[in-house]
Structure 1
Amino acid sequence: MKKQGIVIPHEHGGWAMVSVPFVIGMMAGRPQWMHLPLFLAWLLLYLSSYPFLQSVKRKKERRRLITWGVIYSAIALVCLIPVLLSFPKLFYFGPILLVLLMVNLWHVKQKSERAVLNDLCAVLIFSIGGAAAYWLGGGGWDRTMLLVVVFNVFFFMGSVFFVKSVFRERTNRRWIACAKGFHVLLLIIPWLLGLPWMMIAYLFPLVRTMAYAGKTLRPMKVGIIEIISSVQYLLLTIAVL
């Protein structure tokens, strides 16, 4: 992150997580115009969370980071007001998201952002965004909402395992074995949930992990692989759900 200029997250995975579950949830329901301000609010809340969390550990830049966090939050609130006025039930997601965000904050304070639990909570937050988009589109607290959340959680946790297996945990044989085993499990989960065709969306992540886990890859190549993985997952999931 540069010391001057706009503050934006630099993790490419975050951009996929903030958009893919939302689009899947929206398409699982009925897309409508109100999804636009909801997505803008969701995106801006994601943008605001980054400087707020970074301000906890970057004390020298705290004032600047908090300023950007407030700016993003204020714009997000403006976008969120018409959505909540027309669909106030979305407030129900607030406490859940707040608890998960507090877990993320705790890990930042403990300087353990790379912990699996922290990653899981972040993935859950983004997956709940998909549930909110589905509910706004005419869905309910039903099986489809559960599937939107579960499938997204499994997919993005697979990404967490893969990315760590080619970077920080590249020499950790136990981690690599867990990453490969987790992706094999991804082929079984859709059958257990009654949507066997969904396993097709997890084939590319499986091949990717089997081929590259434990190997040295440039960040650019990993980013391209993850973009391809996210796009194919998005399209196939929309087709199945």
Structure 2
Amino acid sequence: MKQQGMVIPHEHGGWAMVIVPFTMGMMTGNPQWMHLFLFLAWFFLYMSSYSFLQMMKKNANRHRFMKWGSIYSSIAILSLIPPLVSYPPIFFFGPLLLVFVSVNIWHVKHKIERALINNLCAIIIFSLGGAAAYLLGGGGWDRTMAMIVIYNVIYFMGTVFFVKSVFRERKNKRWIVYAQIYHVLSVLIPMVLGNPWMMIGYVFPLVRSFALAGKQIKPTKVGIIEIVGAIQFLLLAVILNI
């Protein structure tokens, strides 16, 4: 990437969280053309927030991060106008997003952005994108919307545990046990919530955790595993009609 080139997030998990919850929410409701504008707004909100958070973290190239963050924000706002005009209740997601984004900013300012609570807040933000897509597609503030958020939060928090267990916490046996316990519980939660078939979507992460946690794995391989896991989770959620 050139020094003054575009600011593009490089985390596989981030891209998966932009796409998977939104698509799940859209497909659970009724897909329509207005979803295209909402997704563009969601996509560029992610790009802009990434740029601004990077600007807060790094002393170098702040002008570059500010420039691209502003460009992405402008595109996001313009893209958001048609969905808001079409369905004004989407506006109510704004205050919720601001609350969780403020938590992310606080963690970045204090240089503890790898804290679990910060990861959880980021995942909730992405999961709310699925709720917004569902609402735009004719859904309501109902149990289905709650399940879209909950199932995505459960799944992507599992990816946090897994990624830490093969990188930063690879030699921490206690963390590996925590990660494996989390994945066992994640398989059981759909049954408790009254949708036992959704347990299938969490089997892959469970197997992944027990097979690979604590092992040294190349980042590229981890990225591929995460992409495969996210795809299977999305397909199963749509097929099983949460």
Q: Name segments (4+ residues, structure 1) moved above 6 Å.
A: none
- Partner residue in 2 for 1:203: 203
- Partner residue in 2 for 1:165: 165
Q: Could you say what secondary structure the match of 1:49 adopts?
A: helix
- Partner residue in 2 for 1:182: 182
Shift of 1:87: 0.8
Distance 2:144 2:197 in 1: 15
- Partner residue in 2 for 1:52: 52
Shift of 1:28: 0.8
Shift of 1:2: 5.2
Query: In structure 1, what residue type is equivalent to 2:224?
Result: I
Q: Could you say what secondary structure the match of 1:60 adopts?
A: coil
Shift of 1:96: 0.5
After superposition, residues 118-197 of structure 1 pair within 5 angstroms as 118-197=118-197
- Partner residue in 1 for 2:238: 238
Distance 1:191 1:57 in 2: 41
- Do the aligned partners of 2:4 and 2:64 also contact (CA within 8 Å) in 1? no
Structure 2 runs not aligned, ≥5 long: none
Residue 65 (structure 1) aligned with residue 52 (structure 2):
no
Shift of 1:10: 1.0
- Partner residue in 2 for 1:8: 8
Q: Could you say what secondary structure the match of 1:42 adopts?
A: helix
Shift of 1:13: 0.5
Query: In structure 1, what residue type is equivalent to 2:177?
Result: A
Aligned residues: 241
Distance 2:90 2:156 in 1: 24
**Scaled by the length of structure 2, what TM-score is found?**
0.98
Query: In structure 2, what residue type is equivalent to 1:177?
Result: V
- Partner residue in 1 for 2:78: 78
Give the % identical residues. Answer: 64
Cα deviations by residue, 1:33-64 (Å, 9 ceiling, x for unpaired): 10000001100000000110011121221111
Query: In structure 2, what residue type is equivalent to 1:233?
Result: F
Structure 1 vs Structure 2 CA RMSD: 0.8
Query: In structure 1, what residue type is equivalent to 2:231?
Result: V
Distance 2:133 2:41 in 1: 12
Cα deviations by residue, 1:88-140 (Å, 9 ceiling, x for unpaired): 11110001100100100011011111100000000000000000000000001
- Partner residue in 1 for 2:36: 36
Structure 1 runs not aligned, ≥5 long: none
Query: In structure 2, what residue type is equivalent to 1:191?
Result: M
